[in-house]
Amino acid sequence: MHWRSEWKSLFWVLAVFLTAYFLPITSQTVTLGISSGLDLLQWYAREHVLLCLIPAFFIAGTISVFISQAAVIKYFGSEAKKWVSYLIASVSGSILAVCSCTVLPLFSGIHKRGAGLGPAITFLYSGPAINILAIILTARVLGFNLGIARVIGAVVFSVVIGLIMHFIYRKEEAQRAVGNLAFPETDDDRPLWQTVTHFVILVGILIFATWGPGAGDTGVWAWIFQRKWFIVSLWGLGLGASLIFILKMSWWQVTLSSVPVIAAALYTSNPLVAFATSVVMLTILLSFNHEEPGEWLGETWGFAKQILPLLAAGVLVAGILLGSPEHGGGIIPGEWISQWVGGNSLWSNLFASVVGAFMYFATLTEIPILQGLLNNGMGQGPALALLLAGPALSLPNMLVIRSVIGTQKTVVYVVLVVVMATVSGLIFGAFF
């Protein structure tokens, strides 16, 4: 036996054993922390996985199968014009209502297809940081100044961080580009507009399925929220048409698979039942096709297998340490966080950045949390620092990024985000 290769496994076995042996389970703080971790994990499973992650997995599968590697390399590769690749990567997140975890399968997809490290990192940061839903709600709830600062900071930082990552690993990227250049240009049998249409339909389902109630009962936002499931059903009809006319699947198979979905929508009062039924039927439908649709399902399942276990572990640990969004109760008291992020000192901005980087925020949940912290004395600078570091990073997010680009690049990326969020908070807090 080669013990050198077994040291890592031995370390984790000992870590789990010692934690279980010495865990002070009679301590109220520890008990509450574990309860909060399980509460966050349950809340995440109920509120986030079905509507956010599953559509994102299918979108990532679309990127892997339907978008050719040559096209990804053309717009995001190291040989692409930098202003084009970074511009597209920095603003593409504005149409996706994704969090730091939902963006992971999309990031993994474009990186797998040959995107350069810089543009891929730019997309990874900008995706959850500048989605249009979060920006609008930030401006409405937290104030216009924070909303505008969030947009400017997220776009600029995403490009700067991407460029720095590309510069640091430019030699490695140059070697990777040589391999990509060996990939032959292929003619896609499917017109570009068909691929774009299929992609837009999936993005539409993701956006409207996760559409939140907003801050009031009136206005366009509330009007859309009241009709969100009707809008999602229209996108669902579009997906059925796409399966028939773009993916060339049998019309009778698609029609037959839609019957349980329609029945669930008509005979249940919970729209989530119909949505879950549609996911199950789509999975079954794709599994019976061994060509491109089956490959799409295979890539989707591959992303799910890679990401879901790490997300579950990360969410559980984050909940134990920092508590759940609704009930708090983490091992680290929430009162400490409120006290340590007042004013506009270097410490308060750095602390807000670090806490935001490790805490998990589902889409839009950072806004009510920040609202509560601001009401308890949080400074404007630390608030922006948390907005720029929190939605873009989280402990589960880091675990998955590490599995895609490695430990060293993940550490560099996290440090860059924390440092730049801290500096931006100091500057913003000095003026506001």
Per residue in 256-309, pLDDT tens? 999 999 999 988 888 999 999 999 999 999 998 878 899 999 988 987 887 788
**Confidence (pLDDT) at 305:** 85
Average of per-residue pLDDT across 14-27: 83
Confidence of residue 189 (pLDDT cuts 50, 70, 90): low
Chain segment 120-140, per-residue pLDDT in tens: 888 888 877 776 666 766 777
The pLDDT confidence band at residue 102, using thresholds 50, 70 and 90, is low
Task: Tally the residues of the chain.
Answer: 432
Confidence category of residue 233, pLDDT binned at 50, 70, 90: very high
**132 vs 8, residue with greater confidence:** 8
Q: What is the pTM of this model?
A: 0.70
Determine the average pLDDT of the residues in 156-178.
Answer: 82
pLDDT category at 183 given cuts 50, 70, 90 is very low
What pLDDT, on the 0 to 100 scale, is given for residue 367? 73
Q: Is the pLDDT of residue 94 over 70?
A: no
Q: How far is CA 56 from the centre of its chain?
A: 8
Question: Which tens digits make up the pLDDT trace of 319-330?
Answer: 787 677 666 667
Report in angstroms the alpha-carbon separations of 324 from 129, 204, 333.
Answer: 21, 29, 12
Q: What is the pLDDT of residue 182?
A: 47
Q: Can you give the residue ranges of every domain in the chain?
A: 29-181+188-249+289-431
**Across residues 161-181, what is the average pLDDT?**
76
- Alpha-carbon distance values, 268 to 48, 254, 277, 343 (Å): 21, 22, 11, 51
Instruction: Report pLDDT for 29.
Output: 78
- If you average pLDDT over residues 365-373, what whole number do you get? 71
Question: Are the C-beta atoms of residues 367 and 142 closer than 8 Å to each other?
Answer: yes
Cα gap 69→299, rounded to integer Å? 14
Residue 65 pLDDT more than 60?
A: yes
Residue 103 confidence class, pLDDT cut points 50, 70, 90: confident
Q: How far, in Å, CA of 161 to CA of 26, rounded?
A: 45
Q: Average pLDDT, stretch 38-64?
A: 82
342 DSSP 8-state letter: B
Question: Hey, what are 42's tokens?
Answer: 């349950």
Confidence category of residue 382, pLDDT binned at 50, 70, 90: very high
Confidence band of 76 (pLDDT split at 50, 70, 90):
low
Q: Note the pLDDT of residue 231.
A: 95
- Return the bridge partners of 378, or none: 342
Percent of the chain with pLDDT over 70: 83
pLDDT > 90 fraction of the chain, expressed in percent and rounded:
21
pLDDT at 363: 57
Confidence band (pLDDT; 50, 70, 90) for 13? confident
Residue 69 has pLDDT above 60, yes or no: no
Q: What is the mean pLDDT of residues 394-423?
A: 88
User: Looking at residues 222-234, what average pLDDT do you find?
Assistant: 92
pLDDT at 93: 61
